[in-house]
Structure 1
């Protein structure tokens, strides 16, 4: 009997230690996640802008941009090296809280889920990781979405997109002027959240798949002969998880950008959607299956190295914070 009591006390003590560990993880995750997000997005900024330009070429455009590398060369030719990083500063301002909240919320979800379980293991099931990742994705979108919309507007403002050319500027507008224009001319403050539904529908499963797969890869490697402290394995796990998630939810990412910029230049980009369902039907009907995957190559060039670098930075910085 006394042995059972001692065992239960030990289990409770271990359980408390695990919960305290995860609480510290949540704080470290906020800082490490923010820095990792900003660094990784800067590295792949040219691919990010190329992806957006390819995505917003609807059936009404002249398809001025063809292919990922030709698009990057065209940006450089027309706008110089600054064109490769158009919108990146705002993206970093957005991605720091976005990434920080995402990682911190995921760790908090892990803490809450652990508190509801009687056993002492700190490894979540795949289903629990998917749930935690989905919640983290939705919360991070809600916190930073207006900045994402404004960045998308600034990103394409100086681009050669046929009917947008008449509204094209020699240099992009400022964040403040874009903010004022959207609020004043497109329906008030709520206009800053145009496209948040397809964004959430896309981000939630992507983050869920990305986080769950990465942690599953880490768990597998830590229980095998792989040395997961090696940066190569962290980069590989991050690249694999982001590749799978990116391909599976890509059509929703296309819709996100189109909803964000559809009202620009008088709605002459060639698409106007009433809802996510209408948008999906219209896109597949008028542009075919591959129309839903415009810019996929550019997106993979962006997210695969971006998330690989992000996971490497995140794990490395978090370890450094714990040592401090």
Structure 2
């Protein structure tokens, strides 16, 4: 069974920054595909003529701006989601980690699922906002901006409306985590080398593979969740949802009865085309940011490669390494010996 070793070479703030920047960049680049995917899941008229026609209809009715609806809410959700996820994952993993810092693969998957649910609980209202903004026509808007959407949903539908469909996030988190983690944690066998030696291209392919498998497993939960988020008796055409239902189980039944089982995977084409490069860019951008941080911390010789700095103890944390450098610098200050840079 594969295992993952805790890496302490990045500080918590550096890890947060790397994940946040990578997520913001990847989501913004792939936002048009996300818009088409969500409209297909909700069942608005834009998706009735197929994948390619959806782009044309959105452009004709809403213009280019329509392809980036809800992107701000999606990006804002990244930062608290990342912070909570990292914090929860760190605490859960610490409980299952042995004395030398290793954790079995199945426990890491379980920890990832629980951390994902905890992070989703905090940021779920922003996901509802994203769905509502995307489902509406931005030229005839019911909602204007993130704050206005949150306020209007709360005032007109109540607090529970901001968590409608959350149970599906819980149910879908585990097949997603299992697919993503199981693939990504065993890539060393595929590439026949450890992950820290992966090239940017290998990281891109790795992210695509993990995302494709995990999304295929959890997609029906995602589809029903989006329908529940979008539906509201206070919106025109009930928010554009193609079936009317009462609750999660009834939504599954109505979708299968009226649209067929395969309709649970509506928008999978757009989702695959979106999630594959999104995750690929996410992993690749994260690794590039990580290289910059490791270079600044003194672990590698260049931000363009993972070549380890000679003489540096890679097991030391960033602050410990800085203390060692400071000690050696003070000890050699004023001496005629070789400089600190040459010794390290």
TM-score of the aligned structures, taking structure 1 as reference length: 0.79
| C-alpha distance in 1 between matches for 2:45 and 2:117 | 35
Alignment partner, residue 302 of structure 1: 274
Alignment partner, residue 36 of structure 1: 22
Q: After superposition, what is the alpha-carbon deviation per residue over 1:45-95, rounded to whole angstroms, capped at 9, x for unaligned? A: 0000000111111xxx65654322321222222222211111112211112
Alignment partner, residue 282 of structure 1: 254
| 3-state SS in 2 of match to 1:313 | helix
Equivalent residues of 1:31, 1:100 under 8 A apart: no
Return closer, same or farther for 1:204/1:102 CA change in 2, 3 Å cut-off: farther
Q: In the TM superposition, what is the alpha-carbon distance from 1:26 to its structure 2 partner?
A: 4.8
Return closer, same or farther for 1:321/1:112 CA change in 2, 3 Å cut-off: farther
Asked if 1:201 corresponds to 2:171, the answer is: yes
Asked if 1:183 corresponds to 2:154, the answer is: yes
Alignment partner, residue 216 of structure 1: 186
Equivalent residues of 1:37, 1:99 under 8 A apart: no
Equivalent residues of 1:222, 1:228 under 8 A apart: no
Q: After superposition, what is the alpha-carbon deviation per residue over 1:107-158, rounded to whole angstroms, capped at 9, x for unaligned? A: 44333321xx25x363x33311210220121012112111110111111110
| C-alpha distance in 1 between matches for 2:186 and 2:72 | 33
Q: In the TM superposition, what is the alpha-carbon distance from 1:234 to its structure 2 partner?
A: 0.4
Uncovered stretches (5+) of structure 2, i.e. residues with no partner = 297-344
Equivalent residues of 1:87, 1:154 under 8 A apart: yes
| C-alpha distance in 1 between matches for 2:150 and 2:83 | 24
Q: Quick check: 313-322 or 41-50, which moved more?
A: 313-322
| C-alpha distance in 2 between matches for 1:300 and 1:320 | 30
| C-alpha distance in 2 between matches for 1:135 and 1:22 | 22
Asked if 1:173 corresponds to 2:144, the answer is: yes
Bigger helix share: 1
Asked if 1:156 corresponds to 2:135, the answer is: yes
Return closer, same or farther for 1:28/1:62 CA change in 2, 3 Å cut-off: closer
Aligned with residue 80 of structure 1, among 56, 63, 81 = 63
| C-alpha distance in 2 between matches for 1:93 and 1:262 | 23
Question: Whose Rg is larger?
Answer: 2
Q: After superposition, what is the alpha-carbon deviation per residue over 1:270-297, rounded to whole angstroms, capped at 9, x for unaligned? A: 4333333222222222211111111111
Uncovered stretches (5+) of structure 1, i.e. residues with no partner = 1-17, 160-167
Asked if 1:46 corresponds to 2:69, the answer is: no
Aligned with residue 91 of structure 1, among 74, 77, 81 = 74
Q: In the TM superposition, what is the alpha-carbon distance from 1:245 to its structure 2 partner?
A: 0.4
Superposition CA RMSD, Å? 2.7
Q: In the TM superposition, what is the alpha-carbon distance from 1:318 to its structure 2 partner?
A: 2.4
| C-alpha distance in 2 between matches for 1:62 and 1:309 | 31
Return closer, same or farther for 1:195/1:227 CA change in 2, 3 Å cut-off: closer
Q: In the TM superposition, what is the alpha-carbon distance from 1:301 to its structure 2 partner?
A: 1.1
Alignment partner, residue 11 of structure 1: none
| C-alpha distance in 1 between matches for 2:206 and 2:229 | 31
| C-alpha distance in 2 between matches for 1:65 and 1:95 | 31
| C-alpha distance in 1 between matches for 2:194 and 2:214 | 26
Figure out how many residues of one structure are paired with residues of the other and give that number: 289
Aligned with residue 53 of structure 2, among 53, 56, 70 = 70
Q: In the TM superposition, what is the alpha-carbon distance from 1:212 to its structure 2 partner?
A: 3.4
